[in-house]
Amino acid sequence: MALAFKLPDLGEGLTEAEIVKWLVKAGDNVEEGQAFVQVETDKAVIEIPSPRKGVILQLGASEGETVPVGKVIILIGEAGEEAKVEGEPAEEKAKQRPSVGVVGELEEAPEEPPAQIGRKGEEITIDRGAILAVPMVRKMASDLKLDLRTLKGTGPQGRITKEDVLKAASKKPAEKEIPAQEVKAAPKSDAYGFIERLPLRGMRKKIAQAMSKSKSTIPHAAGIDEADITQLIGLKAKAKERAASKGIHLTFLPFVIKAVIAALQEHPYLNSSFDDEAGEIILKKYYNIGVAVDTKDGLMVPVVKNAKGKNIFQLAAELGGLSEKARARTIDLADLKGGTFTITNFGAMGGIYGFPIIHHPEVAILGMGKILDKPVVLDGKIEVRKMLPLSLSFDHRVVDGAEAVRFMNTVIEFLEDPGLILMEE
């Protein structure tokens, strides 16, 4: 019997994913464990392995389509098999093998209606209650602003066809006529000139959702300051040659991570999260530092786990590997989760100060600006020093301004005296 494979929950609380690329086509043979599709979810591109050996009878979605968890995306069976997966009596359904996901068996979603899959070559349709219609017909009805529940299908088993939709549309009262020139211009221009409309999808959609949730949930506050890292630059220059001999590219970021962890230990409320439902502050006793990485598809935040237990060279090596995987979109979902505090470096693009958005559910994020040569008064004399601009955004429900300033002062203390950083290792 053919297996109707449903899109599993590939992450924590995943609701949908975009089909990036099919690695097989109808008629191909597939081995158990062989990757058959690439999907994008939670900023990562993941390959889904086949749960069984067989022949691809049908693909249930198109490349670029966003599908919900629980939707049938592929039908796997035997060559020439006439497969049907229809609603069955409860006692028969109980005997069926549950769907198999990426990490074992998946619990069937009771709210999903049964899938109806016809002969090879037919489109997969999902019985959503009393409405039977293929996706193309549903989209057509949506575009024409027709409610499918009001239509009577003339197709097999009462299925609503393209002709049914067109017939109903022809009877719909005519809307206000729009001049032809306006219709022609609307998709490509507005009142001021030419435009291009881009659908919000994939990783950009995930970023938009995360930023909206953070800003709407967390009352952001911010503070800025700067650190004199003249001594740190000298220390990094000495360490860079040794790092290169180990095949490691050393930047300032590992030193900043160490300074941040030292400050988090002294000011633990910035290494926490806020449980809205319970009304509790959750203090984290571990230090997983997220680092924002700029990729061609948008911002990603890989997380260095147990950063406190790693030295400067170990941090540099891990940061290099995570950044490379993020830009190649091969990073594991686990490497994007579990952060307790985030650092973003807009100085790499030439920025000085910013107002970074907190990575929910964390309560703070530190931004690094471009290192500047600035005149500074030391012991009554003016000297040119290397200054690092710092921007801190924090959750004002958990952290007050005074505590945020104290945290920044501790970070600056460690950056300005890099010997303290080495003592922390």
pLDDT digits (tens, 9 = 90+) for 216-269: 999 999 999 999 999 999 999 999 989 999 999 999 999 999 999 999 999 999
Token readout for 112 is: 């999903």
At 89, which CATH number?
2.40.50.100
At 361, which CATH number?
3.30.559.10
Residue position matching structure tokens 């995360």? 210
Residues 61-79: tens digit of each pLDDT: 988 888 888 899 998 988 7
pLDDT for the residue numbered 51: 87
| 13 confidence band (pLDDT: 50, 70, 90) | low
CB atoms within 10 A of CB 233: 15
Q: Residues with Cβ < 8 Å from 382, sequence gap 6 or more?
A: 375, 376
Same domain, 237 and 141: no
Residues above pLDDT 70, as percent of the chain: 82
Is residue 383 pLDDT above 50, yes or no? yes
DSSP symbols for 44-80: EEEEEEPSS-EEEEEE-S-TT-EEETT-EEEEEE-TT
CA distances (Å), origin 74, targets 2, 37, 99, 117: 10, 10, 12, 10
Q: Which of 1-10, 74-83, 174-183 has the lowest mean pLDDT?
A: 174-183
Same domain, 231 and 189: no
Same domain, 16 and 53: yes
Q: What distance lies between CA 76 and its chain's CA centroid?
A: 29
DSSP symbols for 255-324: HHHHHHHHHHHHSGGGSEEEETTTTEEEE-SS--EEE-EEETTEEE--EETTGGGS-HHHHHHHHHHHHH
Same domain, 169 and 281: no
Higher pLDDT, 22 or 425: 22
Mean pLDDT taken over the chain:
82
Write down which residue in 173, 197, 221 finishes a domain: 197
pLDDT for the residue numbered 11: 63
Same domain, 250 and 399: yes
306-313 long-range CB contacts below 8 Å, 24 or more apart?
307/257, 307/261, 308/261, 311/425, 312/239, 312/250, 312/254, 312/255, 312/258, 312/421, 312/425, 313/239, 313/242, 313/243, 313/246, 313/248, 313/250, 313/254
Question: In terms of DSSP bridges, do strands 125-126 and 115-116 run parallel, antiparallel, or are they unpaired?
Answer: antiparallel
Same domain, 110 and 250: no
Higher pLDDT, 273 or 2: 273
Q: In b/e form, how buried is each residue of 134-146, taking b as 16+ CB within 10 angstroms?
A: beebbebbeeeeb
Same domain, 109 and 169: no
Residues 120-168: tens digit of each pLDDT: 444 444 444 447 777 677 777 877 778 888 888 887 777 788 788 888 8
Token readout for 374 is: 């600035």
Rounded CA-CA distance 371/347 in Å is: 7
Domain that holds residue 35: 3-125
Terminal CA-CA length for the chain = 59
Domain count, the chain: 3
pLDDT for the residue numbered 317: 96
Q: Which amino acid is at 147?
A: D
Same domain, 162 and 310: no
User: If phi over 0 gives left and psi between -120 and 50 gives alpha, with beta otherwise, what is residue 36?
Assistant: alpha
Write down which residue in 171, 197, 223 finishes a domain: 197
Contact 245, 389 (CB under 8 A): no
Write down which residue in 176, 197, 218 finishes a domain: 197
Residues 313-360: tens digit of each pLDDT: 999 999 999 999 999 888 988 899 999 999 999 999 999 999 999 999
Same domain, 323 and 236: yes
Same domain, 121 and 134: no
CA distances (Å), origin 24, targets 37, 62, 95, 207: 7, 12, 30, 29
- 396 flagged as catalytic: yes
| 47 confidence band (pLDDT: 50, 70, 90) | confident
Same domain, 218 and 147: no
Catalytic residue among 220, 249, 359, 396: 396
What HEC string does 121-145 produce? CCCCEECECCECCCHHHHHHHHHCC
Is residue 175 pLDDT above 90, yes or no? no
* Predicted model pTM: 0.65
Token readout for 150 is: 């009001």
Is residue 43 pLDDT above 70, yes or no? no
At 143, which CATH number?
4.10.320.10
Residues 279-288: tens digit of each pLDDT: 899 999 999 9
Same domain, 226 and 173: no
Residues 393-418: tens digit of each pLDDT: 999 999 999 999 999 999 999 999 98
pLDDT for the residue numbered 138: 78
Residues 303-313: tens digit of each pLDDT: 999 999 999 99
CB atoms within 10 A of CB 42: 18
